[in-house]
Structures are given as structure tokens and as C-alpha cells.
């Protein structure tokens, strides 16, 4: 195993045994991340849902399928081409929003993943992930359509905020077109 993979595996093992916040007792699995750790693109969402908690993988439910379809159609990429993870690694009960202290204590893992993977761009999905990555209080409707320069740990990168696919599933039409446009924005940034 190469150095990057072994360091990511070590971080993943630390997350798997983490009991640092109140989400630990109710999780089935810690959902660390998935995909290509050599990719220039990271996709970051909020927290695992029911299906992700059961399978231990991010974005495997309905919204994950929509996300995968949009990334394939607009960028021509599949999960083996990008790395995907959530801000929070354990499922909040009843899919409630993560609480600020949970985000604060779990942040070490997503920051560790970013520092190891060193992506050129992050596509953030929805209000919560966009605010957490950008350390902003602005809502997603104000954040999207912009590209942000950000330094996270030792990594200088671009952040492209877009909707969470679960919102697009509910809202349909216009939101879907806007999310497609955001994905194309990320594609251009990466020179694809």
C-alpha cells in the first residue's frame, strides 16, 4: 500500500473507533469516504443518511444516485474518478441537522482527508457542507454561482458550492439545471 493510502486508512481506522460526540452510540457504521484518493476533485456533503449508515458508504441512496448521474453526464466521471465524503461521519438520528459541537469535533477527519488528498477543487453539496467548508454563514442560494479560494490545512484549493442532491430531488426542474451549471463550473476549473 502506498503512503497516501496507508495514511488515509489510518485516519479511517481512527474515525471507525471514534466516540468523541453524541452520534457514536446510535450509528451502525462510520461513513468515512469513498472513491479515488488521487483525484483533483473532492465532493463533500453533510452527513450520512439511513442507507449510508447501513452500508458504511457515502451517497448510496436516492440522492447519491442523482449526484452520480449528474457528475457522469456533465463531467463524464464516475466514483472511481473522484473522492466523496461528508463533513460528519456518523448519522444524526432521524436525519436531523448536525449540531455545531458535533461539527467542531468531527472536523479533524474531513480536514485530515483534504490534507492527504490535496484536491484542486471541492464541490460542496448544500447549505451545511458549503458553510462548513467555507466557514461562512451565508446560505447556499448566495454562495452558489461563485468560486471561492480557500486554504484548508496545507492545501490551497477552489470551492464550488452547489445544492444538495436531496434538495434537487424535491425541487426538480430549475434546481437540477442550476446544479448541472455548478458541476460544469467545477469541470472548467479542473481544465476538463
Q: Which residues bind ligand SF4 (CB under 6 A)?
A: 15, 18-21, 23-24, 30, 88-90, 102, 105-106
If the CB atoms of residues 24 and 177 are measured against ligand SF4, the closer one turns out to be 24
If the CB atoms of residues 39 and 86 are measured against ligand SF4, the closer one turns out to be 86
Q: Please, are residues 163 and 126 in contact by the beta-carbon 8 Å criterion?
A: yes
The dihedral formed by the CA atoms of 99, 102, 106 and 111, expressed in degrees to the nearest 10: 40
- Sheet of 34-35: strands edge to edge? 34-35, 83-86, 41-45, 121-125, 155-162, 148-152
CB of 18 vs ligand SF4, minimal distance in Å: 3
Question: What's the full length of the chain, in residues?
Answer: 192
CB of 152 vs ligand SF4, minimal distance in Å: 17
CB of 64 vs ligand SF4, minimal distance in Å: 19
Q: Please, are residues 11 and 116 in contact by the beta-carbon 8 Å criterion?
A: yes
Look at residue 72 and give its three-state secondary structure.
helix
CB of 28 vs ligand SF4, minimal distance in Å: 12
Q: Please, are residues 129 and 160 in contact by the beta-carbon 8 Å criterion?
A: no
If the CB atoms of residues 83 and 109 are measured against ligand SF4, the closer one turns out to be 109
CB of 15 vs ligand SF4, minimal distance in Å: 5
If the CB atoms of residues 29 and 192 are measured against ligand SF4, the closer one turns out to be 29
Q: Please, are residues 61 and 51 in contact by the beta-carbon 8 Å criterion?
A: yes
Q: Please, are residues 52 and 44 in contact by the beta-carbon 8 Å criterion?
A: no
CB of 166 vs ligand SF4, minimal distance in Å: 19
If the CB atoms of residues 19 and 80 are measured against ligand SF4, the closer one turns out to be 19
If the CB atoms of residues 46 and 74 are measured against ligand SF4, the closer one turns out to be 46
d(CA 5, CA 116): 9
Amino acid at each position: 500500500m502506498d503512503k497516501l493510502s496507508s495514511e488515509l486508512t489510518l485516519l479511517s481506522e481512527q474515525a471507525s473507533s471514534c466516540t468523541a460526540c453524541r452520534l457514536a452510540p446510535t450509528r451502525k457504521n462510520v461513513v468515512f469516504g469513498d472513491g479515488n484518493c488521487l483525484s483533483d476533485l473532492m465532493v463533500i456533503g453533510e452527513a450520512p443518511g439511513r442507507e449510508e449508515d447501513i452500508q458504511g458508504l457515502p451517497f448510496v441512496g436516492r440522492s447519491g444516485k442523482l449526484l452520480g448521474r449528474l457528475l457522469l453526464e456533465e463531467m463524464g466521471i464516475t466514483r472511481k474518478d473522484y473522492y466523496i465524503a461528508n463533513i460528519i461521519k456518523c448519522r444524526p438520528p432521524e436525519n436531523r441537522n448536525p449540531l455545531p459541537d458535533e461539527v467542531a469535533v468531527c472536523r479533524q477527519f474531513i480536514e485530515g482527508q483534504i490534507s492527504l488528498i490535496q484536491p484542486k477543487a471541492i464541490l460542496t453539496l448544500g447549505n451545511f457542507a458549503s458553510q462548513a467548508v467555507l466557514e461562512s454563514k451565508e446560505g447556499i442560494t448566495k454562495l452558489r454561482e461563485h468560486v471561492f479560494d480557500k486554504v484548508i490545512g496545507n492545501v490551497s484549493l477552489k470551492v464550488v458550492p452547489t445544492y444538495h442532491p436531496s434538495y434537487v430531488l424535491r425541487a426538480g426542474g430549475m434546481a437540477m439545471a442550476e446544479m448541472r451549471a455548478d458541476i460544469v463550473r467545477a469541470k472548467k476549473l479542473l481544465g476538463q
